[in-house]
Amino acid sequence: MHDTNHSSPSRRDVLKFGSGIVASSALAGIALPSVHAAGSDQIRLALVGCGGRGTGAAGDAMKSKSGPTKLVAMADVFPHRLKSSHDNLKDEFSAQVEVPEHNKFIGFDGAAKAMDCLKPGDIVILTTPPAFRWPHFKLAIDRGLNVFMEKPVTVDGPSSRRMLKLNEEAKKKNLKVGVGLMCRHCHARQELLKRINDGEIGDIIMLRAYRQAGPTGSAFANPRNPQQQPSELLYQIANFHGFLWASGGAFSDFLIHNIDECCWMKGAWPVEARGSGGRHYRGNYVDQNFDSYSTEYTFADGSKLWLEGRTIPGCRQEFASYA
């Protein structure tokens, strides 16, 4: 309980990482400051994955003061998403969006084609469902491109191991790689980490984290309508939060921020995890997510992180972490 009669903040209050503080632009802060194609001070961009996250990331890039930046190629498997993204970006950043029709690519081979419009040292923004992240990352590395990729960057153990190996290849080529883990780019959290590292609160012996909300993204997937969505594959890609192969599910996509910020503040990664989850009555929804998740993480020094996630309509909402 909070001690409302005490004027000084408690240890728990000091270490609450709430959702009220957000990063203004992860992309602008990571990938742009020092990357340019050889022989040019202009940063050329390709956008692979033109949904809301991709459009937002491209907009952040063009707002950066590290430019000049210019969007020159786009790719998606859905024509309407590419068109909507292009139109919205063109309206806001008219002078910085120069994507001719022959640089707009539809289909699974569009990612490679969009990257081929760039030169080594340019930036590709990877914001497709994460199932495609490692093959797209490899394409970018092979072309000598700097990368911004949206989280989560993997969906399972095998793809995680692939990404770690690919990251070593990117380092050898001195490529810049940024990831949209927003908490890492929050100035308030960075200051909090400094205070922890300076020993202001002593050792962290326990952490708690909560991501509790109503339906988010496409985590609740309705059955496919064969007349409107003839392709099962494209239906699952459009509803990627609902399918484990495409996103890792709600646990991976939504709880990643709490896990990441807690391990960041702790300065360590867990060595053990035990979890459980449950799915209540969901009517006709056909996604593969649970409604609730509970995981106990153990660090090498024996300290614990307890994580709770819930995606149920009409319940209390909380997005916060505590130490």
Confidence of residue 12 (pLDDT cuts 50, 70, 90): very low
DSSP tally for the chain: helices H, then strands E: 12, 12
- Provide the percentage of residues in the chain whose pLDDT is more than 90: 80
Structure tokens belonging to residue 119: 């030169």
Which residues sit opposite 213 in a β-bridge? 311
Confidence of residue 32 (pLDDT cuts 50, 70, 90): low
* Helix H or strand E segment including 169: helix 157-172
For the cut 90, the answer to whether the pLDDT of residue 23 exceeds it is: no
Helix axes 52-63, 79-92, angle to 10 degrees: 30
pLDDT at 318: 95
Do 15 and 323 contact (CB within 8 A), yes or no? yes
Average of pLDDT values for 215-241? 95
pLDDT at 41: 78
Compute the 3-state secondary structure of the chain and give helix, strand, coil in percent, each to the nearest 5.
40, 20, 40
Q: Is 62 helix (H, G, I), strand (E, B) or coil?
A: helix
Give the chain's domains with CATH numbers: 26-183 (3.40.50.720), 186-322 (3.30.360.10)
pLDDT at 91: 98
Residue 77 burial class via C-beta count within 10 angstroms: exposed 0-12, middle 13-18, buried 19 and up: buried
Average of pLDDT values for 99-124? 98
pLDDT at 283: 82
Calculate the average pLDDT of the chain. 89
Q: Are strands 104-106 and 69-76 parallel, antiparallel or unpaired?
A: parallel
